[in-house]
Amino acid sequence: IEKIRAKEEANEKYFSLEFFPPRTDAGCANLLARLQRMSQLGPLFLDITWGAGGKTAQRTQVIAQGAQSYVGVETMMHLTCTNQSVESVKEALKEARKAGIQNILALRGDPADGSEEWTAADTQLRYAADLVRLIREEHGDYFGIAVAGYPSGHPEAESYEADLDNLKAKVDAGADFVVTQLFFDAAIFLKFRDDCVARGINVPIVPGLLPIQSYASLRHLSKMASTPIPVEITEAVEAVKNDDRAVRDFGVTKAVEMIQELWAGGVSGVHFYTLNREVATSQIVEALELVCPPPRELPWKCINTVPKRAV
Ligand code: FAD
């Protein structure tokens, strides 16, 4: 959070990259190699999701730990209340801390597989705000905590306003910053940000951006995220839907335009939903001249870190 605050205060641009844990060991190995390559773009942090229902919890932990210690980039791990008890949350936090992870995105979570409706496995963990409180109670200020925000309102919320009140409750419970659900119109985000500020939500709000990479995933994700897709985007993608390369190129151009609009609206950071893919996000970051490779440790400094042999 200190890094985000410093960037926001200096109005310096920054970005973060989100990935989900693959289902197989081979997939995990591939993803770690990809994280290593994409870390050369210079993200402020890497971000690893928690599988719905906690099914892939172990893989989330493995990838997050690998990103933090092997790739060596500051990492945020998602943690949800779905199928969790207070004890299992405490255990996951202990493991994260042991691995040097210092950032958690605290979520209620999506319903477990096979359920339409979300139900609490532990009555003490009904909302993300409960999880934020638990993390603060157990670990004080050790973790930087993010929570989710919804520029179009969360689909289960009574109203957009009620959802803003719930977001404020998460921040008041101890969250340091907000990462938003994806959206396809910069104006929706900018209005949401202003509404948050008017409600006294005074933490950084980082817009979540999904580069459009295929026709099928665009439709699926926009339905899942309950986010309207502007007609001009649907029409443009429909027109080239059988040409994956053309869809991706369109997605890159659109994302670059949207980020420029966000920047013009005073936004500094952007969070990419990469869907574990490399090309589109890399092209966007390059087009915006955001690439900032991490400094290499000088060889003589590395030598100093090697334990001295007893003479
Ligand atoms: P909450 O903030 O608890 O809100 C859930 C609903 O309850 C909202 O409608 C809210 O308005 C309402 N509410 C909150 N407090 C109260 C209250 N006191 N009284 C009445 N109503 C209340 N899902 C995963 O499973 N794994 C992930 O890794 C994951 N990553 C995500 C990352 C981001 C950036 C985002 C935006 C979403 C992510 N999700 C993930 C999806 C998320 O779990 C779902 O959107 C879920 O339905 C809500 O989670 P939340 O943390 O926003 O819930």
Q: Assess contact for 251 and 284: CB atoms under 8 A.
A: no
Q: What mean pLDDT do residues 195-209 have? A: 97
The protein residue whose alpha carbon is closest to atom 19 in ligand 1 is: 166
Q: What secondary structure letter does DSSP report for 274? A: -
> Residue 307: its pLDDT value, please?
41
- Tell me the C-alpha distance between 106 and 79, whole Å: 5
Contact residues for 78 (Cβ-Cβ < 8 A; gap 6+):
47, 48, 49, 50, 60, 104, 105, 107
| pLDDT greater at residue 181 or residue 216 | 181
Q: Assess contact for 147 and 105: CB atoms under 8 A.
A: yes
Low-confidence winner among 28-42, 61-75, 108-122, 196-210 (lowest mean pLDDT): 108-122
Q: Is ipTM beyond 0.90?
A: yes
CB crowding 146-177: b at 16 or more within 10 Å, else e: bbbbbbbbbeeeeeeeebbebbbebbebbbbb
Whether 50 lines ligand 1, by a CB cut-off of 6 Å, is yes
Whether 107 lines ligand 1, by a CB cut-off of 6 Å, is yes
Q: Distance from the CA of 295 to the center of ligand 1, in angstroms?
A: 36
> Residue 114: its pLDDT value, please?
73
> Which amino acid, 168?
K
Residue 206: pLDDT over 60: yes
Active site residues: 18
Q: Which mutation among 108, 119, 156 tests ligand 1's pocket best, with the greatest number of atoms within 8 A of CB?
A: 108
Low-confidence winner among 153-162, 210-219, 222-231, 275-284 (lowest mean pLDDT): 222-231
Residue 300: pLDDT over 80: no
Q: Residue 226 — very low, low, confident or very high, per pLDDT cuts 50/70/90?
A: confident
Predicted confidence (pLDDT) per residue in 8-20, tens digit: 999 999 999 999 9
Q: Model's pTM, two decimal places? A: 0.93
DSSP structure string for 103-126: EEEEE--PPPTT-SS---SSTT-S
Low-confidence winner among 100-104, 215-219, 260-264 (lowest mean pLDDT): 215-219
Q: Residue 225 — very low, low, confident or very high, per pLDDT cuts 50/70/90?
A: low
∠ CA 254-259-261 to the nearest 5 degrees? 95
Q: What mean pLDDT do residues 305-309 have? A: 43
Element (H, E) at 208: strand 205-209
Tokens of 193: 């940000």
Q: Residue 299 — very low, low, confident or very high, per pLDDT cuts 50/70/90?
A: low
Q: Distance from the CA of 59 to the center of ligand 1, in angstroms?
A: 21
Whether 238 lines ligand 1, by a CB cut-off of 6 Å, is no
Residue 160: pLDDT over 70: yes
- Tell me the C-alpha distance between 118 and 9, whole Å: 38
Low-confidence winner among 204-218, 221-235, 260-274 (lowest mean pLDDT): 221-235
Whether 101 lines ligand 1, by a CB cut-off of 6 Å, is no
Residue 301: pLDDT over 60: no
> Residue 261: its pLDDT value, please?
98
Instruction: Give percent of the chain with pLDDT exceeding 70.
Output: 93
Residue 29: pLDDT over 70: yes
Q: What mean pLDDT do residues 190-205 have? A: 98
> Residue 304: its pLDDT value, please?
43
Whether 55 lines ligand 1, by a CB cut-off of 6 Å, is no
> Residue 302: its pLDDT value, please?
47
